[in-house]
Amino acid sequence: MVEPLRKAPGDEKQKRPFRGKAKHLGSIKPPVASKGILQDVVHFLLHKPSIPTLIKFKTHAEQEAFSKRILQRTGLEVSKYSILNIHKIGIHAPVQHVFNELLDWSGDSTCWPNHIARVHRVNGELENIQILLFGMKLPFGILSPLFYMNAIRILRTPGSSDYDNARYLLYECSGGYPIGIFSMFVRSSIPEEEEEGQSQLFMAVGFDFYGRKSRYKRNIISRTWEMIHNRASVNIMNRFKQLCEWRFYKMQNGQS
């Protein structure tokens, strides 16, 4: 039996964004679409959402232990990769609904800063993605993608031993942006962990140069990248929660 992803050790002292009932879902609106680079900056970099998502750890050992559990769940070799940034948010919608929203990830998503780093599906496929700086792809290689994402595995159906209903997107990344692996992982909430909302969504990123096991060198440049990444991620997660809950509420109430 595969162990579910539980909360990180020490996470109980963070503000718990998942506690409490889903209130006023009928008043939820979809995320407002950004109309340009400046709005992307406001929505994804300057805005501070009400729900924090970055999991914080007391020690590097706790961080490594939690990272290994994610790697094991996605089938990656633990000794080869590391995960340094993990975000998590509770969503009041079933796992299948949340995962279907993940499968729609594209350059039209209102949850992603597409005017700064546009998602381009190569040949329309989710398995091969280019992230284009400022949404541009010019001829003759004048501007290369910010980075490439090639799917290692997209798990659309839970495994026979997965009792937490898990599904995920898992990519190996390369290019100018310093991440090695990227995963969006959703599972059912675990009542013993005091998680409310039907689903828990994780965004896990190996935020070093290409996710290798060597120790991440935290200089001023890497810290700046990490800060920008984490601010964008918390906004992406909050907007994705908003979109999922809005659409699920509409479905439940027979609205188109």
d(CA 35, CA 3): 42
Residue identified by tokens 């381009």 is 120
* pLDDT, tens digit (0-9, with 9 covering 90-100), for 50-64: 899 999 888 888 888
Contacts with 174 (C-beta within 8 Å, 6 or more apart), sequence order: 147, 148, 150, 210
* Residue whose C-alpha is closest to residue 235's, from 14, 39, 24: 39
pLDDT number for residue 143: 55
Q: Taking a C-beta distance cutoff of 8 angstroms, is the pair 34, 110 a contact?
A: yes
Structure tokens at 200: 């828990």
Over residues 149-157, mean pLDDT:
94
Paired with 175 in beta bridges are: 147
Which class is domain 53-106+149-244?
alpha beta
- Evaluate if residue 187 carries a pLDDT over 60: yes
Report the largest interatomic distance among the alpha carbons of the chain, rounded to a whole angstrom.
55
Query: Which residue ranges make up each domain of the chain?
Result: 53-106+149-244
* Residue whose C-alpha is closest to residue 111's, from 228, 245, 242, 247: 242
Reported as a pLDDT band with limits 50, 70 and 90, residue 79 is confident
Contacts with 120 (C-beta within 8 Å, 6 or more apart), sequence order: 107, 129, 130, 131, 132, 137, 145
Measured in whole angstroms, how far is the alpha carbon of residue 174 from the centre of its chain? Answer: 17
Q: What is the mean pLDDT of the chain?
A: 82
- pTM of the full structure: 0.84
d(CA 66, CA 68): 5
Order the strands of the 181-188 sheet from edge to edge.
85-91, 199-205, 181-188, 167-175, 147-155, 128-133, 117-121
- Evaluate if residue 13 carries a pLDDT over 70: no
Q: Taking a C-beta distance cutoff of 8 angstroms, is the pair 51, 238 a contact?
A: yes
pLDDT number for residue 181: 86
